Amino acid sequence: MSTLSVRLPESLHKKAKELAVLEHISVNQLISTALAEKISALTTEEYLHQRAARGSREKFLKALSRVKEVEPDEEDRLY
C-alpha cells in the first residue's frame, strides 16, 4: 500500500473526522472509500458513454422486436 500526503481545506478535514467517528472508521478509511466510490462512478459513466456510442436506434428496435407482447403484471400497469 502506498502513502499519499494530501492538503485539505480545514472544513473538509473537520467534516471527514466527524463522519469517521460516526461510521466507526478511521479518517484514512473514510477517504479511501470515498475515493474508491468516486473512481467507480467516473469509470462507470465513461463505460456507459462508450456503450452508448456503439448503439443505434436500429439496434434498439431490433432488440425490442424480440420482446414478446404480453400484458403487464397488475403492479406494473399504468392507469
pTM: predicted TM-score of the whole model, two decimal places = 0.62
* Cα 77 from Cα 79, distance rounded (Å): 6
Cβ–Cβ contacts within 10 Å for residue 57, how many?
7
Torsion angle of the four alpha carbons 55, 57, 63, 69, in this order, in degrees rounded to the nearest 10: 150
pLDDT digits (tens, 9 = 90+) for 9-26: 999 999 999 999 999 999
pLDDT digits (tens, 9 = 90+) for 25-62: 999 999 999 999 999 999 999 999 999 999 999 999 99
